[in-house]
Amino acid sequence: MSHSRKGNCYDNACYENFFSHLKSEHLYLKKAENENELIDQVDDYIAWYNEDRPQGKLNGMSPKEYRNHHY
């Protein structure tokens, strides 16, 4: 489902970027055996992405580190 305004693909850019990383860095590498395992994998990835994953656009800090550094 699109969350963007009609004719404006850039509204979804941050979502598309995150889901691309989720799929390529995690879901394609670790196949879930069932729905509960998939939910756990996605939860673990989101926690890792926000708390530990270094991001080039954030000067090598995780989103949590970047937020704490600037506030």
- Average pLDDT for 32-53: 94
What are the structural domain ranges in the chain?
32-71
CA gap 30, 38 in Å, rounded? 9
CA gap 31, 24 in Å, rounded? 12
In this prediction, residue 45 carries a pLDDT of 94
C-alpha distances in angstroms, 55 versus 2, 16, 17, 68?
A: 25, 16, 12, 15
Query: Is residue 3 scored above 90 in pLDDT?
Result: no
In this prediction, residue 70 carries a pLDDT of 80
In this prediction, residue 35 carries a pLDDT of 96
- Average pLDDT for 42-63: 92
